[in-house]
Structure 1
């Protein structure tokens, strides 16, 4: 397979922290251009917007790291120009946007990769295999982190479409939708929205799976000190616990799997494989659960939040 010439659109924190190191370490990709209003990469041709980039530089693929509210227009432009597209999570601001992009990619014979980086955490697939041989009795998600540490000054995250606490919470949902053997459905939700913001800063969700077993989630964007990225699953033959965002797996309290952070290298390896095979990967189930929470959830006022 020839080296994939790729452009990175949106040069912010996630691009610098994760995408650039992953691309630099993968010989299947060559970063040839960037497009961003607020950033650039030394030694890489830079543009202010994607339309300028697509006219001036030959690229095979585009990776979008912008906030979700503006991603659909950018992705559609890249697909219309005949480029494969990789989408940061969440893949769009709405489900309808993503479905449109899915159809557009299919019509043009291009790869569309809606990424869920937490699914590439080292203990996720071992957890999936372990649960496949057991009956789940209940599952509990505890996902609490400090927004000031992980999203410093990112005002867009609390705007409409920015998802608020569901920006990290959707990572947990991406893991649970991958590892649980049965689908689950929202029954109730409580969304705590700061009085000066549009998106929740905390949330509690209750689901039931297809067999009627409870699945619960607690999301919080104001946790200081130790951060919590945990998933607990009770089964008919033991208890499973994922910690550190899926990096470690415990069975009945004993550590069984752990590994280094290879989430974004895993995403790009998968993207390269999809392109080589002429396939797409567009699973919207985590985003659908978030949409259900906004549709069904009760909104309660929370104190004003400022960075």
Structure 2
């Protein structure tokens, strides 16, 4: 057996009852010296093996050890505490359970492991935009998506509009730009659609069930709705923007420009954008950059940007 197999075997035997080193050695056909070596390795990995000396002594585990996390290495512990930092503030519905899991991980770690986790935990933090608490809605939608349960919900398309009631098969949730969306089959429309969770009012299970399409991705569905597909490539407009590397890097990190980058060279970037997206979103994203960038082409984007700047100027001049 491998070292890991021997360690697991010792662990399972100790979970049953207290054992002496001689008993463990005989059961596993090992030397007593090897047993001590494997027990030392278990302790180093965070397993709280207790050694009782004297007559009737031996090795044992705490009674509550069945709930302890096992065999996490340094990288895994670091990843867990830092992932919790990313989730907190995003509206993740199970942040309480995640916090409990991290607390349990710390509880069953030795002093050196705990110090390492605290260092990594304090070395990475996240800033999240304030958002409406959606924990009950997100938890219910996630549970229904996992179980394949149809929901009835009241949904308003935008602020000020009356809510409509519809039946939806929730396929999955996606977090994008500080908001949560649920993608699924809308029985009212007869097609897959995405819905902003903060616009959902009353939500309840309808009693219906569904099977999620194989390989469906809520993230990809939302992205496909924002960006042109392969069949639209011929209609894309070439956009050439010149600027310094810092501005171009910032531009390429934007959801629209980043996914439509066609070519990047020092001082210049070429994008392929759908015309609707180009004239509806691009001018208002580019406007704050002012003279720090130059639109080489197309002329239509230059005119749209100039018109947007003129409208804003006129609005504040009149007021």
TM-score bucket (shorter structure): under 0.3
* Larger strand proportion of the pair: 1
Which structure has the larger Rg over C-alpha atoms? 2
Highest relative contact order (Cα 8 Å, sep 6+), 1 or 2?
1
Q: TM-score, normalised by structure 1?
A: 0.26
> TM-score, normalization: structure 2?
0.25
